[in-house]
Amino acid sequence: MESRISKAATVQLTDRDVFGSEATLAVSEEDIQDALEGEEFNVPLNASVILVQSGSRAPEMMMQQEMSKYYLISSFSGIPDPQKSLSCNKNADTAESENMNYMQALRYIAAKGRQKAVIVYWDELQTGKYDTVTKNTVWSGYQNEKLTDATLLRYLVRFALVDVATGEWATWSPVNYEYSVLSPTGPTSETQEQQIARLKQKTYAAAVKDLVSRYE
């Protein structure tokens, strides 16, 4: 699971990277009503989109394959460079360029490529163990530890979709699927890495199908 370890060490995209400073703006009731009057967000089937995985130079092939069943995919890095301030200077005579957040830069790139939307996703593999005292399952991030048949696994997946033309956006977190770890016994049993890969693929397939049915 080297890819998982290296990903955890990289910089993840934050909500501010994707949505800018909207969460800290002074918002009036009129602003809210104006937002409600906007068109319903959608991404038509077979639309051209940019796909970004937070914390990775390129989206995992499993996710690209699932998304490619419904959209025309182009990929882009999901690791913002903290050493470089994103800017757009369309007027060579202007001394100062306009500062942009990461999503504005992606929208500009997508506009040049005639893509309909930018789809960003975050994912995390978690392990769960049942607490006999609280009668609840306690979840924590997977740390490449050895799994037992008492361990549960789940992938948390979250999407952000941004319309290139308007900047309108939507977020979507599908239902989480929980899986029991199979005991590694018998001649045909899966290794730990194989189980994780299979469960990830099942989760990605279900998550993308939910996403498409919601926003097509």
Q: Where are the domains of the chain?
A: 41-79+99-215
């942009």: which residue's tokens? 100
Written as tens digits, the pLDDT of the chain (216 aa) is: 334 434 445 688 887 777 766 555 566 666 555 655 666 789 999 999 999 999 999 999 999 999 999 999 999 999 876 655 444 444 544 433 444 678 888 899 999 999 999 999 999 999 999 888 999 999 999 998 888 888 889 999 999 999 999 888 889 998 887 888 766 655 556 788 888 898 899 999 999 999 999 999
CA distances from 184 to 65, 141, 215 (A): 28, 22, 40
pTM: 0.80
Which residues are bridge partners to 153 per DSSP? 127, 179
Question: CATH second-level architecture of 41-79+99-215?
Answer: 2-Layer Sandwich (3.30)
pLDDT at 179: 85
pLDDT at 169: 87
pLDDT at 22: 58
Q: Are strands 48-53 and 72-76 parallel, antiparallel or unpaired?
A: parallel
Nearest to 209 by CA among 75, 63, 76, 50: 63
Rg of the Cα trace of the chain?
20
CA distances from 178 to 68, 116, 146, 161 (A): 25, 33, 18, 25
